[in-house]
């Protein structure tokens, strides 16, 4: 039985780890930061006091933490795993972090003899639960092929997009598109509601046309119903758009609409909404329009 050390069992990581268990993998979980979820331990996951202990005898190490500094800490911090890696192991970072730093991390991990893949995901909590995630992978093709059965237990649309760092570039591009779609749906529904139309009916009608999208389907419903419990938190999307804007500045690329979406997320954050689902961007449009589409 293949053993996987899984570091980071939060909103996304927990269901991803559960699906790996269902596929027959043995999990090792680190409790250095927080207790392991009971759903995983009751299903047979083994727990360890540190990351280093958790990766011992694990063929794969999956990291699913919030941001670049957390990945760096897991790999190279005072209790980092890099010093304990060997050539039999593959590190798979499924977090969404800086493409530039990812290349550095990969280079340093390769010096230990271990393989490295960056494999950020899209699909949100629903995709993680249903094992339908899109997984964007950067790294060597031989390493990708070795890890492909693991990815298949967690997702459906799985692609090797280039060398190390390319997966993170793809994820940043994904987050630009998602943010701008959320902004577009928000503006459309607020406009429709302010014009006297029922936003729920408008959404249903648009689902059958060229304006249809997963954002309109899933997040449009959240906007209409006012259900903003996080699948994906605004503060995390802000982090991703910051990666986009920082990278664009370095590359000399103009991203005016990405900046607009970031400004609207910031307005939500100022209202105490950092931990709202990112579909709550509609609240920023509502605030600027002095109109609530739900009438509450």
Residues forming the active site: 171
Distance from C-alpha of 160 to C-alpha of 140, rounded to nearest angstrom: 9
Please name which of 10, 8, 156, 26 lies closest in space to residue 92, comparing C-alpha atoms.
Answer: 8
Please name which of 23, 16, 25, 8 lies closest in space to residue 121, comparing C-alpha atoms.
Answer: 16
**What b-and-e string marks burial along 14-53, b requiring 16 or more CB atoms within 10 Å of the CB?**
bbbbbbbbeeebbbbbbbeeeebbeebeeeebeebeebbb
DSSP 8-state assignment for residue 280: G
Quick check: 85 and 91 in contact, CB under 8 A? yes
Distance from C-alpha of 209 to C-alpha of 206, rounded to nearest angstrom: 5
Q: What is the CA radius of gyration of the chain?
A: 20
> What are residue 133's DSSP bridge partners?
155
């Amino acid at each position: 039985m293949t053993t996987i050390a899984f570091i980071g069992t939060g909103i996304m990581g927990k269901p991803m780890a559960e699906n790996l268990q269902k596929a027959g993998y043995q999990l090792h979980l680190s409790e250095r930061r927080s207790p392991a979820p009971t759903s995983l331990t009751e299903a047979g996951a083994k727990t360890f006091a540190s990351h280093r202990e958790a990766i011992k005898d694990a063929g794969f190490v999956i990291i699913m933490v919030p941001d670049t500094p957390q990945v760096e800490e897991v790999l190279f911090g005072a209790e980092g795993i890099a010093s304990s890696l060997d050539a039999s192991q593959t590190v798979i970072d499924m977090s969404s972090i800086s493409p530039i730093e990812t290349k550095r991390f990969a280079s340093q991990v390769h010096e230990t003899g271990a393989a490295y893949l960056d494999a950020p995901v899209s699909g949100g909590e629903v995709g993680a639960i249903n094992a339908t995630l899109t997984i964007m992978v950067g790294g060597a093709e031989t390493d990708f092929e070795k890890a492909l059965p693991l990815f298949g237990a967690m997702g459906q649309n799985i692609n090797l997009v280039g060398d190390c760092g390319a997966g993170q570039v793809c994820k940043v591009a994904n987050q630009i598109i998602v943010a701008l779609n959320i902004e577009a749906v928000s503006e459309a529904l607020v406009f429709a509601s302010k014009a006297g139309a029922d936003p729920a009916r408008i959404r249903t009608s648009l689902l059958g046309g060229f304006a249809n999208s997963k954002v309109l389907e899933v997040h449009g419903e959240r906007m209409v119903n006012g259900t903003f419990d996080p699948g994906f938190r605004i503060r995390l999307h802000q982090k991703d758009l910051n990666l986009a804007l920082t990278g664009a500045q370095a590359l000399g690329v103009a991203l005016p609409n990405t900046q607009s979406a970031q400004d609207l997320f910031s307005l939500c954050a100022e209202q105490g909404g950092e931990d709202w689902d990112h579909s709550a961007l509609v609240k920023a449009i509502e605030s600027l329009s002095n109109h609530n589409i739900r009438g509450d």
